[in-house]
Amino acid sequence: MKQKILIIEDEVSIADTVKYVLEQALFEVFCATTAGEGERLLRQQKPDLLVLDIGLPDMNGLDFYRELRHEFDLPVIFLTARSDEIDRIVGLELGADDYVSKPFSPRELAARVKTVLRRFVQSSREEPTIKRIAAFEWNEECRSISWHGEKLKLSRNEYALLSVLLSHPGRIYSRRQLMEIAWEEPEASMERTVDTHVKTIRAKLKAVCKEDPIVTHRGFGYSLS
């Protein structure tokens, strides 16, 4: 059976070229020009991979992805025309994801699609649901994090923020990055909100074990040690 690819892209000329090339590579391809139509096809066709434009007429592609990523377990390749969007995509880091900057060669995209699909199939076979990072146990499916064997009671934002840090131990995230990746409405929050959340997370960690795994980088932001 052919693997299914869904393309959500409002520029029909781009979508058509990509569709053509992917069909040549023996994929079954569906196209939507809006997030709304895309969501309908996502439910109906259950594609194996999503090619998602960020600048959609009815919704930002990243917000669309954020809303649906917990419901649909499929790899996504983002199409972006803006370099500032790339930071946010990289921050999403779900392992199987990728992005392509416009203008791009459709053949290159087809090659990426194959690579990402291969990697995704492998990782769903190999990776355990529970990730162990230092003294943390992170269960993404249950949205729960334990620290030194103790399950932490985290608010939604605390969970999201700690997940971002756990996804890349050692990587330093600025407050703005943390907010944009973790918050559902980053525009409505102040960067200081991040400090407040880190403080409450630290207090919860400290209640379990004195060691502090979160490092403050003065003038930059935070990382997991």
Residues that bind Ca ion (CB under 5 A): 10, 53, 55
CB 10, min distance to Ca ion, A:
5
Q: Which of 18, 83, 28, 25 is nearest to 51 (CA)?
A: 18
Q: How far is the CB of 37 from Ca ion (least distance, A)?
A: 14
- Give me the least distance between CB of 158 and Ca ion, in Å please: 34
Closer CB to Ca ion, 39 or 53, in the complex: 53
Shortest distance (Å) from residue 21 CB to Ca ion: 18
Asked if 152 and 136 touch (Cβ cutoff 8 Å), the reply is: no
Cα distance between residue 6 and residue 62, in whole Å: 16
Closest CA to 76 of 89, 91, 58: 89
- In whole angstroms, give the CA distance from residue 48 to residue 26: 13
Q: Which is nearer to Ca ion, 58 or 211 (CB)?
A: 58
| DSSP state, residue 194 | H
Helix count (H) and strand count (E) of the chain?
8, 12
Measured from the CB of residue 82, what is the shortest distance to Ca ion in angstroms?
Answer: 10
Nearer to Ca ion, 10 or 23 (CB): 10
- Smallest gap from residue 124 Cβ to Ca ion (A): 30
Q: Residue 15 belongs to what H/E stretch?
A: helix 12-24
- Closest-by-Cβ residue to Ca ion is 55
Q: Which of 124, 106, 104, 126 is nearest to 116 (CA)?
A: 124
- Look at residues 32, 35, 34 and name the one whose alpha carbon lies nearest to residue 16: 32
Whether the Cβ atoms of residue 86 and residue 80 lie closer than 8 Å to each other = yes
Nearer to Ca ion, 34 or 146 (CB): 34
Residue closer to Ca ion by CB (options 36, 55) is 55
- Closer CB to Ca ion, 59 or 164, in the complex: 59
